[in-house]
A and B are shown apart, each in its own frame.
Chain A
Amino acid sequence: MRMPTLEQTQRLLWRLITAPSGVADGLRALDDTDRLSRDGLEAIVNGDVVLPAVRRLDIYANMYFFRLLDALKEDYRAVLATVGDASFRNLITDYLLHHPPSHPSLRYAGKHLPPFLRSHPLAQAQPFLPNLAAFEWALVDAFDAPNADCITRDTLAAVAPGAWPKLRLQLAPSLQLLELDFAVGESWQRVQAGQPGGEPTRRANWVRIWRRELRVLLREIAADEFAGLQAAAAGESFATICERVAEHERSEERIAALLQQWLADGLLTGCDRWHHT
């Protein structure tokens, strides 16, 4: 047999380690072109009576799966508490098949779970799961987002009245905006308190999650505020932000109240002149 190259060796090991039902099944699933030799894995990996080659590789396969499972259990505590250990484990098996990690940091391994859940059979029985997962991932993202200093009332007071329509507001980089079909924030809070998450109420709701100094905060907001913040986050002008808010409630007092709230919550980190791009 020709000696396998480093790349051939690594690609073979990667396929076998990530095979969902173990190395032996992974070996059977290889087609002839994937096989490096007729003699099987033993021609590449040393084995002995005590520990045959397949078992040696299975040690790595187990560590791969359980390390990721443990990391995702941390990120998705409420999803785990809701579906239980066995279903969560099956979910992660399916997930890793579709989204094997590619980022150098384990921190990002769970990034695709919320959209993945939308088409997963678990969500047919419990349709709130994608919302719950999106909520938990927003917490992860807010936790280590970039720092930014807040502006104060004085910064806005210094803006000339004529400049307001073209003013662009900069938002805290940690701000996560969620439009949800289920009140998953309530079930998340129950899990935090050590209670069963239970099934959340089905109702449209809007949530913002952000970080102030080192603390991650969350607030349920109204649809008009969500629309205004979404426009601000997209870099729209203040005039457009007002229009988006006004689609829900047309009142100058409302916009003024929202600005006050955003200042008080530390959501505003800068403002500059809007340019059409």
Chain B
Amino acid sequence: MSTPPYNRPAALGCGVGLRPTHYPYIFEHWPAVDWFEAIAENFMVRGGRPLHTLTRIRERYPIVFHGVSLSIGSADPLNFEYLGELRRLAQRFEPAWVSDHLCWTGVGGHNLHDLLPLPFTAEALAHVVERVQRVQDVLGRRIALENVSSYLTFCHSMMPEWEFLTAVAERADCGILLDVNNIYVSAVNHRFDPLEYMRAIPIERVWQFHLAGHSDHGDYLLDTHDHPVKEAVWDLYVEALHRFGPVSTLIEWDDKIPEFPELQAHADRARRLQERVRAHANARANPTPAVAIDHRA
């Protein structure tokens, strides 16, 4: 690919994950959300309702494709049939960008349908960087990779996750989908400081935030996407906005999915926080002179 110079894509605002249970509501109300994120694999089908639905939605909203099966860190060869499908989808629907996860989802030709963490080694780094470059060549565009929630780490990791993620993004010249909830979940599970994680991530590489709910299992947090975003994650999101700016933000909800207006209310909350942080940044950058009031004679 003759790579155009790197630019962070323009922000889309605050959106929600596109889920079939909400299709009737969307088609009736065409709600005021800024954008939708569609799970790419759900639309890698030949015809019928899924593609018809996405076509109608794309006519009115920006979309982003979010994949779950790229398996960028797998020791298996890249699946070019899958990549071809992804490229065709991207050509047809013109998403603002395409993202997947910094993880592996299977090996030996098998798929675990889960996002498994990588050992943060020099071998894994070189492997992932080379594969991201090949994927970007096939797709003809940069992709963004998301940090996953994790429940285990490897004894032979040589660097923290934030260093690995940063190195992948800079060496492979790709974007980062920073999942604020995943940082929080992993920080609790592995006892690191989530702010240290965020401070290490290069600002210009971050294209998107994810926000989602998790469950507290006592000994660990589980990234279940079946609850509202926790207050501690909203707090971390505000920190993220201060550092990275009003980056495109998406509310993810995959289980016990609420009615659309509730989901939309979470996107609205993210938008209000963005506006607040923006106003704060403006006020700091442009301090106004003091005005004499003289309200008493």
User: Nearest chain B CB to A49's CB is how many angstroms away?
Assistant: 10
Q: How far is the CA of A67 from the CA of B118 in the complex (A)?
A: 21
Which secondary structure characterizes the binding site on chain B? loop
Interface residues of A in 173-221 (CB under 8 A from B): 173-174, 211, 214
Q: How far is the CA of A151 from the CA of B191 in the complex (A)?
A: 64
Q: How large is the interface on B (under 10, 10 to 19, 20 to 34, 35 or more residues)?
A: 35 or more
Closest to B190 in A: A46
Interface residues of A in 94-122 (CB under 8 A from B): 100-107, 109
Q: Which residues of A contact B99 (CB under 8 A)?
A: none
Q: Are B114 and A44 in contact (CB under 8 A)?
A: no
Q: Are B153 and A102 in contact (CB under 8 A)?
A: no
Q: Which residues of A contact B49 (CB under 8 A)?
A: 143-144, 214
Q: Are B154 and A100 in contact (CB under 8 A)?
A: no
Interface residues of B in 64-116 (CB under 8 A from A): 69, 71, 73-75, 79, 82, 104, 106-114, 116
Q: Contact flags (1/0) for B11-51 with A, using CB distance below 8 Å?
A: 00000000000000000000000000000011011111111
B192 is an interface residue with CB less than 8 A from chain A: no
Q: How far is the CA of A123 from the CA of B45 in the complex (A)?
A: 31
A222 is an interface residue with CB less than 8 A from chain B: no
Q: Which residues of B contact A57 (CB under 8 A)?
A: 152
Closest to A56 in B: B152
- The number of A-B residue pairs with CB atoms under 8 Å apart is 129
- Given A104-B82, A144-B50, A45 and B45 touching (CB < 8 A)? no
Closest to A55 in B: B219
A234 is an interface residue with CB less than 8 A from chain B: no
Q: How far is the CA of A71 from the CA of B156 in the complex (A)?
A: 34
Q: Which residues of B contact A144 (CB under 8 A)?
A: 45-51
User: Nearest chain B CB to A72's CB is how many angstroms away?
Assistant: 12
A162 is an interface residue with CB less than 8 A from chain B: no
B123 is an interface residue with CB less than 8 A from chain A: yes
Q: Are A6 and B121 in contact (CB under 8 A)?
A: yes
Q: Are B152 and A109 in contact (CB under 8 A)?
A: no
Q: Are B106 and A14 in contact (CB under 8 A)?
A: yes
- Given A7-B107, A46-B154, A102-B111, A59 and B222 touching (CB < 8 A)? yes
B175 is an interface residue with CB less than 8 A from chain A: no
Q: How far is the CA of A100 from the CA of B112 in the complex (A)?
A: 8
Q: How far is the CA of A68 from the CA of B189 in the complex (A)?
A: 25
> Contacting B48 at CB < 8 Å: which of A17, A56, A59, A211?
A211
Q: Which residues of B contact A273 (CB under 8 A)?
A: none
Q: Which residues of B contact A13 (CB under 8 A)?
A: 116
Q: Are A146 and B47 in contact (CB under 8 A)?
A: yes
Q: Contact flags (1/0) for B232-276 with A, using CB distance below 8 Å?
A: 000000000000000000000000000000000000000000000
Q: Are B155 and A51 in contact (CB under 8 A)?
A: no
A152 is an interface residue with CB less than 8 A from chain B: no
Q: Contact flags (1/0) for A1-44 with B, using CB distance below 8 Å?
A: 00111110111011001100000000000000000000000111
User: Nearest chain A CB to B45's CB is how many angstroms away?
Assistant: 4
User: Nearest chain B CB to A255's CB is how many angstroms away?
Assistant: 29
B124 is an interface residue with CB less than 8 A from chain A: yes
Q: Are A50 and B219 in contact (CB under 8 A)?
A: yes
Q: How far is the CA of A64 from the CA of B119 in the complex (A)?
A: 20
Q: How far is the CA of A103 from the CA of B119 in the complex (A)?
A: 24
Q: Contact flags (1/0) for A139-170 with B, using CB distance below 8 Å?
A: 00001111110000000000000000000000
Contacts A6-B127, A45-B154 aside, 14 further interface pairs with beta carbons under 8 A come to A7-B75, A44-B155, A59-B222, A60-B151, A63-B114, A67-B114, A101-B106, A101-B113, A102-B106, A109-B113, A144-B46, A145-B47, A146-B47, A173-B46
Binding site for B on A (CB under 8 A): 3-7, 9-11, 13-14, 17-18, 42-46, 50-51, 53, 55-57, 59-60, 63-64, 67-68, 100-107, 109, 143-148, 173-174, 211, 214
Q: List 24 A-B contacts (CB under 8 A).
A: A6-B75, A6-B121, A6-B124, A11-B108, A13-B116, A14-B106, A14-B110, A44-B156, A45-B153, A45-B154, A56-B152, A64-B113, A101-B110, A101-B112, A102-B110, A102-B111, A104-B79, A104-B82, A105-B41, A106-B113, A107-B42, A143-B48, A146-B46, A147-B48
